[in-house]
Amino acid sequence: MNILLTGANGYIGQRLIPVLLEQGHHITCCVRDRDRFNQQHDYPVSVIEIDFLQPGDTTFPDNIDVAYYLVHSMSSGGQFEEKEAVSARTFVRLISNTSCQQVIYLTGIVNQQDLSRHLESRLMVENILKEGPVPLTALRAGIIVGSGSASFEIIRDLVEKLPVMITPRWLNTRCQPIGIRDVIFFLCGVLGKAATYHRNYDIAGPEVLTYKQMLLQYARVRKLKRYIITLPVMTPRLSSYWLYFITSTSYKLAVNLVDSMKVDVTARPNSLAADLGITLLTYQQAVELAFGRIEQNLVASSWKDSFSSANTPQTWMDNIEVPSFGCLKDEQSIPINQDETFVLNNIWKIGGNTGWYYANTLWRIRGFLDKLAGGVGLRRGRRDPVDIHAGDALDFWRVLVADKKQRRLLLFAEMKLPGEAWLEFQIVEKDKQSILKQTATFRPRGLWGRLYWMIMLPFHYFIFGGMIRRLSNGISKQTKKQ
């Protein structure tokens, strides 16, 4: 099928693209910034650059079979309802001039009489799409559980940071969360199914939980002991400030989320999951998969079979997507003033006998301490001195991405840590200048994880700064002696 995907750079869109490609569909992605999309992805897709608020003379291809509408403006603040209405009407006008047979819209559950502004806007958009000439299939979901989703990352932030929580009364509001894996299954399952045309379905997991129960179940998965005290007097404004200061969300998004969280979001029963053969995950299973990154199997299945090591543990590959919410980062960059291939080859030789280019003695001490703690240490080295592939062990790291074409190496830490860590090297172009970017990302587990990062900050400044300079200049005699 020829599929049009709006919101291709969004949370759902990025997970949907590889699955649709694997099923053999041709995809046309609608994005606001073509360069950003092309820099982030190397998918065999067509790209249309369009702002649905100001579409200009943009048109859609005539031969579209199915279109996904995944556009929303909740985080933009202000009169987001007006923006969502304009975007939806623009989409209806453009898709009406194609041969499209179905529009699939992912929206929110709207079963209460008193809806939040966000849910009222979602329902308004659904009605606008329904008025168009193309049959609509609306999938209505509540909280989506997956690493990176706004609601899930707020829960993660709260539990990881606060041993004792003084919380607003809306924590007793009921909802019916659904795992991101199941959302993708539903979105793909209704594709081209005529029986779902002109219909809407509530999609949700099998459990109705309060937000308080979700926080406590999350804590159990992470093996953290947490205490929650609910206050009946906290106003929506105070609740919004509370979320804003404690979590990684923006204030505008916090306001809209608090507004939505005051309303019960539970699903009407239907047989869609059974009709599509979907076994729904419980909330706890979805949380476990979010941290194991198992849902990424949907994305990564096309390249896992090409790993050089048949014994590569799949769970390490499930960390392929570096998280952004609630993470601590050390970001370094340096202009490349010589042959780019030389620098790329330096990156590909890192670890093993080559070492880590700077302060190798400190790296060896870290490996020794890891070994004492029962970790893998530096004893594994690397499989080959110059060649490296996804799935390879590299000292106390695991290689997740080794793509010379994209000039990117991504490592995931297997050392003992109070959290998860990624180390990424990438060569990018900026203002006609090649830049080497080096990013260390750490997702702490609880307060000890944050304390660990603070203790290591002086060492990071010293080690990572020296490492990126040496990578751009090659291995000096001084580095070899360390």
Parse the chain into domains and list their residue ranges: 2-296, 328-473
* Alpha-carbon gap, residue 323 to 19, rounded angstroms: 20
- In this predicted model, what pLDDT tens digit does every residue of 254-292 receive, in sequence order? 666 666 666 788 899 999 999 999 999 999 998 888 776
Check residue 478 and give its pLDDT. 37
Joined tokens for residue 131: 């008025």
Which helix (H) or strand (E) segment holds residue 2: the answer is strand 2-6
Question: E-strand spans in 234-336?
Answer: 328-335
C-alpha pair distances (Å), 118 with each of 75, 238, 336: 10, 19, 46
For helices 340-348 and 446-473, the axis angle rounded to 10 degrees is 130
- In this predicted model, what pLDDT tens digit does every residue of 423-452 receive, in sequence order? 999 998 887 888 999 999 998 887 788 889
Check residue 178 and give its pLDDT. 93
* Alpha-carbon gap, residue 191 to 428, rounded angstroms: 37
Check residue 63 and give its pLDDT. 93
Tell the CATH topology of 328-473: Alpha-D-Glucose-1,6-Bisphosphate; Chain A, domain 4 (3.30.530)
Residue ranges of the chain with per-residue pLDDT less than 50: 75-76, 294-318, 476-482
Check residue 39 and give its pLDDT. 60
Check residue 235 and give its pLDDT. 63
The reply to whether the predicted model has a pTM over 0.85 is no
Tell the CATH topology of 2-296: Rossmann fold (3.40.50)
Check residue 250 and give its pLDDT. 58
**Residue 391 DSSP label:** T
Whether 328 contacts 160, CB under 8 Å: no
Check residue 140 and give its pLDDT. 94
Whether 59 contacts 48, CB under 8 Å: no
* Alpha-carbon gap, residue 306 to 388, rounded angstroms: 13
Question: E-strand spans in 168-270?
Answer: 174-175, 178-179, 199-203, 209-210, 227-230
C-alpha pair distances (Å), 343 with each of 337, 398, 407, 425: 10, 21, 10, 11
